Amino acid sequence: MFKSLSQAVPLLRPLSLRSRPTRTYTDFSFARFGSSGSARTYFDKMANITTNIPLLRLNDGTSMSMLGYGTGTAWAKKGDESKLDHGVLDGVKMAIKLDYTHLDGAEMYKTEPELGKAIKESGVPREELYVVTKCNKDMNDIEGSLKASLKKLQLDYVDLYLIHSPFFAETEEQLQSTWAAMEKVQAAGLTKSIGVSNYLPKHLSVVLKTAKVVPACNQIEFHPYLQRTELLDFHKKHGIATTAYGPLSAVTKAKPGPIDDFMASLAKKYAVSEGEISLRWCIDQDVVPITTSSKEQRLSDYLRAATFKLTPVEIKQINELGQQKHYRGFWGAKFDEKDRT
C-alpha cells in the first residue's frame, strides 16, 4: 500500500479545470474584523487578484478542483423537493459565474433539481464542471438512486458519486455489497469516480477487503477542532483523497476557542478573512474544502484562498491550538461526546 497520498498520485498542479483563461477579479475596499470585533481595513485601493485553484489528482486518474461549492447545510430543503428554491438556484449560478467548477450536491439535501437547472442555465459546457452527488435513501438500489439523481440533475453522468454515510449498514456484508454496486455504476459510465462520505477507518477497512476499486475519496467533517488524524493517516496509506465539509466551523460555529487570536493574526498578515485562512489550512494539507455562501462578495473572497500559502510552522500552530478543543457539528448522535475519530 502507499505510505502517503503523494506517493499514490501526483497532487497539486497549478492548473484550471476550465479551458478559458483563469479568472481575474477586482476587489474594492472592505473591512475585516479582528478578535476584538474592531474593524480593520486591509485594502484601501483596488487590487487585481488572479485565482488559480490547484487540482487534486485522484487515485483513478481524474482530478478535482481543490475548492468546492456545496448545496447542503444551510441550502438543504426541509420541505417538498419538487418546489424550486430560487435562492439555491441563484446561489449555484453565482458560484459558477465566479468560476467555482467543483459543485457538491446530495440526494439528502433535496437540492439536485436546483443544481441541475443552474448548470443548464449557466452556459458553461458540462465537461468543464465537476459535479458530485451522494446516495442516502435506497441503499439496496444504487443504480436506481443514481439514475434518479441524474434525472433531477438533467445530466448523463456525474463526476463523483458518494455513499453519504456508512450508518445504514448493520453488517459488514452490507457495506461490501453496496460498494460492489457502486463499482457497477462506475463501470456503466453513470459516474466517473466513486467514493464515500463519513466513513471511519473501520468502515473503510471492511470495504477494502472485497473492493475491486479503492474509493477515490472520503468526504468528512474537518476543521481545526476535528482534525481526524487517524482517519487522514488511513486515507494517505490507501491513496484515498479527503474532501471536507464544515471547514469554517472553527471560526464560525465553534467560537470562542483557542485558535481565535492566532487565526486573527494570520488574517491580518495575509490581508484575508479567517474563513479564507481556514480554507487554505485545508488546501495546504491536501484536503479539499467544500464551502458555501449566498453572498457574492464572500464567495469571491473565498477564491483568494488560492492566492497565498500558509507556512509549515503556521499550519503546525493551528493544528496544536486546535487540538485543545473538540467540536463536532454533524452526526453527533453517532459518536461519543469526546470521540475525535
Model pLDDT, residue 331 = 65
* 100, 109, 199, 225: the active-site residue: 109
Q: What are 101-147's pLDDT values in tens digits?
A: 999 999 988 899 999 999 999 999 999 999 999 998 889 999 999 99
Average pLDDT over residues 14-19: 35
Q: Which CATH number fits domain 51-323: 3.20.20.100, 3.40.50.720, 3.90.550.40, 1.10.1070.11?
A: 3.20.20.100
| Residue 164 annotated as binding site | yes
109 in catalytic set: yes
Ranges of each domain in the chain: 51-323
Q: What angle do CA 36, 41, 42 make, to 5 degrees?
A: 110
DSSP secondary structure code for residue 145 in this structure: H
Give me the helices (H) in 123-199, please: 142-153, 172-187
Average pLDDT over residues 298-325: 96
Please, what sign has the CA dihedral across residues 265, 270, 271, 275? Answer: negative
